[in-house]
Structure 1
Amino acid sequence: MEINITAFQIPGLTITLMEILYLIVTVVIALSIRFFLNWLLSGIASRGVISLGTKSFVSRVIDIATLVVIVLGFVSIITASLTPYMVVLIIGVLTFVIFYHEIREFSAFINIQLLKLKKNLWVEIYLPGIDRPLIGRILDITPFNAVLEDILGNKVHIANSVLVNSVFRERQPHVVLRVKITSSSNPNERLDLKKITDEVKKAAADVLFRVESDGVMIKSIREDSVELILNIVPVKPPVKVGDIYKLVEAVYKALNGYNPEVEVTRTV
């Protein structure tokens, strides 16, 4: 090998100092971006936004992309032929066609991170083409789908490409009760709604439910009866059917002096 001021010469191959500098700069930039992205991923994973499995998968993708950039930089200085680039282009097109679904879902996954959807967030989601919303807690967001858990513990898997095109808002889960009470002991005595509401709140708290300040609505009112709609929030969702039964029983016992009718209209 002959070395001069401007180039390294190997039989059949000449590499200039500028080309070597270009390769060094390419490697330094590629590795710097890799380390920065991995540091960013570690920070996101430590906050619980993404799982460790997702972090590992994305890190592998970054490593492969970094290796491809370095190899292309090296190939570009040892040959002026377009053949290596054409081979890389063909491989890239074939990879895109074969893994189109995975690439689409992963691209949507990146967009979801920008939407600030994170684990353990309770949301109301309107999926494209579906009028009725899904309400639940986001258990996990992987590179390909998100897992939603409703108030009863049922799990729904939603593709990232569907989720990213959905409309969502933060929403607390709640159980809706219809309660009708009457004052049969003394028809001339007016019902004290504040006292009744306080009794319901205390009964719900005893079984780990909470009645919000704006969670009591009057559906109908008469001289001797009142019908209420109660939005009651579980303290530790998800809840089981047995938990809802305990809630109904507690409310019924608390209002036992008013001949109550208690009905669960829905859980959302």
Structure 2
Amino acid sequence: MPLPAIPAIEEIFTQYSNIFITIIIMVFARILIVRLINSLFERGVFSVGTRVILIRIIDTAVIMIILATILHQLAATYATYIVIAVFAAMVLVLFFYEIKEFTAYISLQLIKHIKGRNLEIYLPGHTKPIYGKVISIDPLFSTIEDIFGNKIHVVNSLLVNAIVKEHTPSIILRLTLRPTANTKLYDLIKRVHTVFDESRIPVFRIHENQIEISKIQGNVIVLNLNVTPISMPIRVSDMIRLINHLMVALKEYDPEIEIVK
């Protein structure tokens, strides 16, 4: 009884050439894309988490394309494409929110002026801005920290569509003084500036043009001090030290101090 003929290698390659060609193309494409991602990661464009997630997505896409090619070659019907299309539609519907936020996450990673800078952020649908620094960008949401260390979590799709401009953080101290009738206003402002410089608290600074006259009524003078923090977030202990120093150094003017913002 004759043995069944074993197909030659050429016949196998000819019959399944589409599968082999697809595998070769996908492997080379995967290598090139991963090298590009690693290059961007080394330049600081992507974070470690972004790099890992992108490589996983690429690996999943490569495997899906190869499997679709194999199924089409073996089944040779449109049922394969129908199953893949239904599966892709289900994934899109079930994970629409995650896909939308991750797409915005990739966009935020490519924007250089977002992370690590003090910003004034106007989110879509909100009239009041958010002041703070974007300290982290995660696949679903980003974290903004204000000058007092309070953290605000914003979804990436809102942040990527926000109006953003650079902002110099500051604190307004409202200083109420009651000088004598012979005290000149210029000398009083100069005295306040000198007292502030003598506080020896290195995390705050103020210039003469950052002292505004808010109100003069009788013997009461109200000044707004635009205090700029050098390091953030601001510690409560530093604020208390500064206020105590001003209260003691200006005690002859019966001072009252209020933190406006």
TM-score by length of 2: 0.81
Residues 232/102 of structure 1: CA separation in 2 closer, same or farther (3 Å cut): same
Worse overlay, 221-230 or 33-42: 221-230
- Superposed CA deviations along residues 64-108 of structure 1, whole A, max 9, x for unmatched, are 223334444555666653333332222211111111110011111
- Structure 1 vs Structure 2: percent identity of aligned residues? 31
Contact 2:30–2:58, Cα closer than 8 Å, also in 1: no
Deviation at 1:197, TM superposition (A): 4.6
For the pair 1:255 / 2:250, whether they are aligned, the reply is: yes
Aligned AA for 1:87? V
Q: Which residue of 2 aligns with 1:146?
A: 142
Contact 2:193–2:207, Cα closer than 8 Å, also in 1: no
Q: Which residue of 2 aligns with 1:28?
A: 28
C-alpha distance in structure 1 between counterparts of 2:44 and 2:71, whole Å: 35
Match of 1:59 among 50, 55, 71: 55
C-alpha distance in structure 1 between counterparts of 2:67 and 2:39, whole Å: 23
C-alpha distance in structure 1 between counterparts of 2:127 and 2:210, whole Å: 24
Contact 1:182–1:226, Cα closer than 8 Å, also in 2: yes
Q: Which residue of 2 aligns with 1:9?
A: 11
Worse overlay, 145-154 or 123-132: 123-132
**Structure 1: segments with no counterpart, 5+ residues:** none
Contact 1:145–1:159, Cα closer than 8 Å, also in 2: yes
C-alpha distance in structure 1 between counterparts of 2:243 and 2:72, whole Å: 74
Deviation at 1:193, TM superposition (A): 5.0
Q: Which residue of 2 aligns with 1:190?
A: 184
C-alpha distance in structure 2 between counterparts of 1:213 and 1:56, whole Å: 51
C-alpha distance in structure 2 between counterparts of 1:103 and 1:149, whole Å: 25
Residues 129/15 of structure 1: CA separation in 2 closer, same or farther (3 Å cut): closer
Aligned AA for 1:14? Q
Contact 2:179–2:220, Cα closer than 8 Å, also in 1: yes
**Structure 2: segments with no counterpart, 5+ residues:** 1-6
- Per the alignment, in what secondary structure is the counterpart of residue 39 of structure 2? helix
Deviation at 1:204, TM superposition (A): 5.0
Match of 1:239 among 193, 218, 234: 234
Contact 1:200–1:251, Cα closer than 8 Å, also in 2: yes
Residues 63/39 of structure 1: CA separation in 2 closer, same or farther (3 Å cut): farther
Residues 248/75 of structure 1: CA separation in 2 closer, same or farther (3 Å cut): same
Deviation at 1:252, TM superposition (A): 2.2
Residues 206/241 of structure 1: CA separation in 2 closer, same or farther (3 Å cut): closer
Select the structure that is richer in strand: 1
For the pair 1:135 / 2:131, whether they are aligned, the reply is: yes
Worse overlay, 205-214 or 99-108: 205-214
Contact 1:109–1:144, Cα closer than 8 Å, also in 2: yes
- Per the alignment, in what secondary structure is the counterpart of residue 95 of structure 1? helix
C-alpha distance in structure 1 between counterparts of 2:22 and 2:201, whole Å: 71
- Per the alignment, in what secondary structure is the counterpart of residue 149 of structure 2? coil
C-alpha distance in structure 1 between counterparts of 2:228 and 2:219, whole Å: 29
Residues 203/73 of structure 1: CA separation in 2 closer, same or farther (3 Å cut): farther
Residues 92/212 of structure 1: CA separation in 2 closer, same or farther (3 Å cut): farther
